[in-house]
Structures are given as C-alpha cells and as structure tokens.
C-alpha cells in the first residue's frame, strides 16, 4: 500500500466550530507532515512528526493542534479558525527522518465561514 | 533559509513538444526533488537528484543539477495533455532535518 489517505475531502466550518482532519498511511513511514496550501502557491510546512514525536512546529497558531496517535495516523485538530485559514491542507509521509521523497495525500479542502 | 525557487513562468505548449522549467536555490543541499500537482489535488513525487549527481532520467523526465550555479532544470519530453499541472521543485538542506523548501511552482498547460 503506497497511499496516503485523508479525510474528509471537503470541510466547511464556522469560526466557533471544532473539527479534525485525519491522515493515514500504511507504508511504515516514520515521518509525517502537515502542509497548508493556498491557491496558486506552494505548500507551506506546518508540522512534522518524526517517530511519533513533534519535531517541527513552524510557528503555527494554537488554533491548529496536531496529534500523532500512532505511527500510521496523524490528526489536525481545528478550533476557532479564521476565514483566512481556508486552504487545502495536505498530509505527507516519508521514510526515515532525513531528506527523503515525501508521499502526499489528496488533501482536505477547508472553508471557514 | 534555503528556498527552491523556480523562474515564475507559465508554459503553454502543444502536445508533443518539450517543456523545460528551471529552479534556483540559495544554500547547500542534500538533494533536490521535483513534484507535480494536478489542480486541487495532492503532490506527486517525480524525481530526486542528489547533490553529487548532475543528471537523472525517469521515463520522459530529465533533470539536471548544477550545484555551482545552485540551479536545476526539469525537461519533459514529448508532452501529453495529461502533463498539464503545476510543477514544484523542493530542496532538502545539506545539514537539515525533514524540512523541504518548495519553490513557487510552474504552471504547465499542454494543448491537445
């Protein structure tokens, strides 16, 4: 299985809602990533988990809260988001923890009203 | 911080033609990678070239790397309509961690 899956595909939420994005991979990868991508822009790194521990937080606002329950799962908990947080949220994974190719999921299209 | 950065151009070519796009970066790298993204979807890894390599091929793709100029190029030969996508280069720092620095991306449109 060489696939990264993400759910949901689309999410619309109000600024007072709490929601979660989910990501799963079964490739045995030990590094997992969250990216945010705005239209016509490159992906922006948000968080990196390496061996289930948070290794990089790119100064992301606390309204985004990542969680890595086990080596196959990655969640992104959302609370009190702003309309400018609307974007495509991409999950990725890679083997090991250095400089390897990353496998991306299809993304969750998030709209904050 | 290092930053893969393509020349910000949009290419529109006829099917069968070749498409070339460039990428420049600023610091020492472990490797440079190219990714493709179809509209609104996830990125797909195309090819990885290490800092000690100068050229690499994969099917219709040819990547070159010039570390003295801190630049790379991606050539797609005999383009097809299905090659229509955004293409991003991404650099992995020489002494860095998992972080990839993505360039701005090139939009390629292949006209059937």
Residues of chain A contacting B103 with CB distance shorter than 8 Å: 42
Is residue B90 within 8 A of residue B44, CB to CB? The reply is: no
- Under the banding of pLDDT at 50, 70 and 90, the label for residue B98 is confident
Q: What's the pLDDT score for residue B3?
A: 46
CA atoms within 13 A on the CB side of A20: 10
- Give the mutation candidate from B6, B31, B43, B58 for the A interface (greatest A CB count, under 10 A): B43
Confidence of residue B4 (pLDDT cuts 50, 70, 90): low
**pLDDT of res. B35:** 97
The CA distances from residue A31 to A54, A55, A68, A91, B95, in Å, are 10, 9, 10, 11, 17
Residues A66, A32: Cα–Cα separation, whole Å: 11
| Predicted confidence (pLDDT) at residue B109 exceeds the cutoff of 60 | yes
C-beta of residue A44 within 8 angstroms of C-beta of residue A35: yes
**pLDDT recorded at residue B93:** 86
Structure tokens at B29: 């790298």
> How far, in Å, CA of A52 to CA of A70, rounded?
6
Contact A83, A53 (CB under 8 A): no
Residue B21: the pLDDT is 92
Q: Dump strand ranges (E) for chain B.
A: 5-6, 10-14, 19-24, 29-37, 43-50, 55-58, 61-66, 71-76, 85-93, 100-102, 106-111
Residues 15-74 in B contacting A (C-alpha not used; CB under 8 Å) = 30-31, 33, 35, 40-45, 48
* pLDDT tens profile B45-93: 999 999 999 999 999 999 999 999 999 999 999 999 999 999 999 999 8
Report residue B1's pLDDT band, with 50, 70 and 90 as the boundaries: very low
Residue B97 above 80 pLDDT?
Answer: no
Query: What is the overall mean pLDDT for chain B?
Result: 90
Give the gap in angstroms from C-alpha A72 to the nearest C-alpha of chain B. Answer: 17
Mean pLDDT, rounded, for A19-48 = 95
Of B106, B69, B109, nearest to B90 by C-alpha is B106
Residue A65 and residue B49: Cα distance in Å, rounded? 34
Q: What is d(CA B56, CA B64) in angstroms, rounded to the nearest whole number?
A: 6
* pLDDT on residue B5: 59
Q: What is the pLDDT of residue A97?
A: 62
Residues of A with CB under 8 A from a CB of B: 4, 31, 33, 40-43, 45, 48, 50, 55-56, 88, 90, 92, 94, 97-99, 101-107, 109
Nearest CA in chain B to A93: B98
- Tens of pLDDT, residue by residue over A39-98, are 989 999 999 999 999 999 999 999 999 999 999 999 999 999 999 999 999 999 998 766
Please say if the pLDDT value at position B2 is more than 50. no
Distance, in Å, from the CA atom of A14 to the CA atom of A92, rounded to the nearest integer, reads: 26
């Amino acid at each position: 299985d060489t696939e990264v899956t993400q759910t949901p595909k689309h999410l619309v939420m109000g600024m007072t809602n709490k929601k979660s994005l989910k990501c799963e991979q079964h490739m045995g990868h030990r590094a997992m990533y969250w990216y945010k991508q705005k239209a016509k822009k490159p992906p922006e790194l948000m968080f990196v988990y390496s061996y289930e521990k948070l290794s990089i937080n790119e100064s992301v606002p606390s309204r985004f809260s990542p969680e890595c329950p086990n080596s196959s799962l990655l969640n992104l908990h959302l609370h009190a988001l702003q309309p400018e947080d609307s974007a495509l949220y991409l999950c990725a994974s890679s083997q090991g923890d250095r400089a390897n190719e990353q496998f991306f999921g299809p993304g969750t299209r998030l709209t904050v009203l | 911080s290092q930053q893969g950065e393509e020349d910000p151009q949009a290419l529109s070519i006829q099917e069968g033609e070749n498409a070339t796009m460039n990428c420049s970066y600023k610091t020492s790298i472990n490797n440079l990678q190219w990714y493709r993204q179809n509209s609104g979807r996830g990125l797909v890894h195309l090819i990885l070239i290490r800092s000690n390599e100068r050229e690499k091929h994969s099917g219709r793709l040819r990547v070159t790397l010039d570390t003295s100029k801190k630049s790379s190029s991606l050539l797609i030969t005999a383009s097809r309509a299905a090659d229509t996508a955004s293409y991003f280069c991404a650099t992995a720092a020489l002494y860095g961690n998992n972080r990839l620095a993505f360039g701005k991306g090139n939009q390629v449109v292949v006209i059937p």
